[in-house]
Amino acid sequence: MMLGILGGTSFHETGLLTDGEERLVETPMGAVRVHCAGGLALIARHGREGRTPPHSIDHHAHLTALARLGAGRIVSFGSVGSLKPELPPGTLLVPDDYFAPFRVVTFHHDRIRFTVPGFDPDWRGRVIDALRGAELRPVTAGVYVETLGPRFETPAEVRWLATVGDVVGMTCAAEATLARELEIPLAAVCMVDNFAHGIGAEPLTGKAFRRSVRENRDTVARAFRAVAALATAE
């Protein structure tokens, strides 16, 4: 069974994607580039050059491509901002719920179907075990809040979002909702790369964010290796 991976362009810099091949998967929404290797099907959601902003990502095409390749499970890797002082940059978190009421995300536009959204609990447990087996120490619960991007949130927005969530991102919840509609178990692995605007002592800047992403790249690579090993365990 194929393991689907959704991640950023930094995954191509980990050295783990030197084997395999790039495939162009046709979907009703357009063609999607997928890197396939050793039971893995990886999509760089921001494109190979990292130029697709969060609000322009075609999640429907990405999830459709993974389904057409036979992905039986999916892991969504995401960079997030912390809404809580106790979750500093460098924290790895596997959320158990999400809050994403700001846009309509569905495959069902011509019929009524009520889907119960969420991350798959059994698959989450396996991902957590894999991360722990790699001597990583993930936070194993938390609420992922999804905003639209591409900008960061204002301090007022952050104060409000912190009443319902622990971290804030722009992609993983939409992917989880669509995966649930396709009946594909999905778990998210989140790297805290910054405090959200107004949290923490240092001001949030694009430069500081990019620096933190670079600093956390090794942790993301270790997490990716741990999760990738699950493909051969199927």
What CATH number does the domain containing 15 carry? Answer: 3.40.50.1580
Distances (CA, A) of 233 to 12, 87, 96, 132: 23, 31, 23, 16
Q: Name the average pLDDT for the chain.
A: 93
pTM for this predicted structure: 0.94
Q: Please check the confidence at residue 129 and state whether its pLDDT lies above 80.
A: yes
199/89 Cα distance (integer angstroms): 11
Which pLDDT value is given to residue 15? 59
Range of the domain at 177: 2-233
The reply to whether omega before 185 is within 30° of 0 (cis) is no
The rounded distance, in Å, linking the Cα atoms of 16 and 40 is: 11
* CB atoms inside a 10 Å sphere around CB 85: 11
Q: Which position has the token pair 């902003």? A: 53
Q: How many domains does the chain have?
A: 1
pLDDT in tens, 201-234: 888 888 988 898 899 999 999 999 999 999 876 6
Q: Please give the pLDDT value at position 218.
A: 93
pLDDT at 24: 96
**What is the spatial distance between Cα 43 and Cα 7, in angstroms, rounded to a whole number?**
6
Give the burial class of 185: count Cβ atoms within 10 A of its Cβ; 0-12 exposed, 13-18 middle, 19 or more buried. buried
